[in-house]
Amino acid sequence: MSVIQNLSQEPQSKRRKIDSKINYSSSSTSCGHFFVRYGICCNCRSTVARDEGRSFNYLVDGLQLSDIAVSVTKKFTTQITCFNDKKLHLVLDLDHTLLHTVLVSKLSEEEKYLVGEVDSKEDLWRFNRGYSSEFLIKLRPFVHEFLKEANKMFSMYVYTMGDRDYANIVLKVIDPEKVYFGDRVITRNESPYIKTLDLVLADECGVVIVDDTPQVWPDHKRNLLEITKYKYFLDTTIHDVKYSKSYAEEKRDESYKEGSLANVLKVLKEVYEGFFSSDGVEKKLDIDSKDVRLLLHDPCRPNTTLANFTFTNLGFFFL
């Protein structure tokens, strides 16, 4: 990632000074335009069209990488992270995975008491910045402990179908100092229809996804660890004659120690330990021979979490 970091640290004044000397009427035919910033190739200094390569603007302002550069950077990043930091990569959804957000106007009559309890609860937040309506954010039980422990094993990304303004608001609640995610935040601004690991600069063999909605990952289900949907507030989009009260209405919550996040963390630890087993990093870690997807879907894993819990208690399913 040193190349990416160097690009992000290039002074604006220097960039403008260089740009003024560029011949905008010509482009290099011999250069692969591997790294592009603000439409200018960092190697040959010619202009490059936006449809050449892929934008990684969420990581570095104006950054665009060619397909070859993406492939090489993914491999390089995974190797460096594994060898130097002994970490894999984890992609986390926000809504219904780490928290539940609802419009205040959509609260049921039995949930409206929560508005008056916001200031007294550490896991409940109210906001309306940038929006015309007010929202409540309820953090999932165990979320802070989950992030703290997962951060020891993984370099983490957020990947949400919410917009960037919303993601920034949520991250100020769960990661105000950018300790866990840094700038590794992908939103619907970059990925409006589906979610894809093409936007994650890490080799797929070392990436685990935790999400409650498998349908948004059509091409990467083998990397996916599906978590049960966290629904603290009443779901007003479902009209069911068999009405069941929400957690908020019943004034209770998902289990802290045996809930979905706690149990998913156990599986993540198993995957991590399997990846960095005795035939791995202690000798010479061969990335090509290691793959988290094989560990996630290994039906012969002895003494796993699956042996100790029912699917209902685990709060997740393997795809």
User: Within 10 A of 63 (CB to CB), how many other CB atoms are there?
Assistant: 20
Q: What percent of the chain has pLDDT over 90?
A: 71
Model confidence band, residue 128 (pLDDT cutoffs 50, 70, 90):
confident
pLDDT at 22: 33
Residue 236's identity, in one-letter code, is T
Rounded average pLDDT over 65-82: 94
Which residue is it, tokens 């989950």? 146
Q: How far apart are CA 185 and CA 59, in angstroms?
A: 8
Q: How far apart are CA 280 and CA 214, in angstroms?
A: 30
**Which residues does 168 contact at the CB level (< 8 Å), separation at least 6?**
185
Closest CA to 188 of 165, 212, 155, 205: 165
Q: What is the pLDDT of residues 201-250, one digit of tens each?
A: 999 999 999 999 999 999 999 999 999 999 999 987 665 545 689 999 99
Rounded average pLDDT over 283-299: 78
Radius of gyration in angstroms for the set of CA atoms belonging to the chain, rounded to a whole number: 22
Residue 141's identity, in one-letter code, is P
Q: What is the pLDDT of residues 161-188, one digit of tens each?
A: 999 999 999 999 999 999 999 999 999 9
State in Å, rounded, how far the first CA of the chain is from the last one. Answer: 31
Rounded average pLDDT over 92-102: 97
Least confident of 2-16, 216-230, 295-309: 2-16
Q: What is the pLDDT of residues 24-58, one digit of tens each?
A: 333 445 789 999 999 999 999 999 998 888 999 99
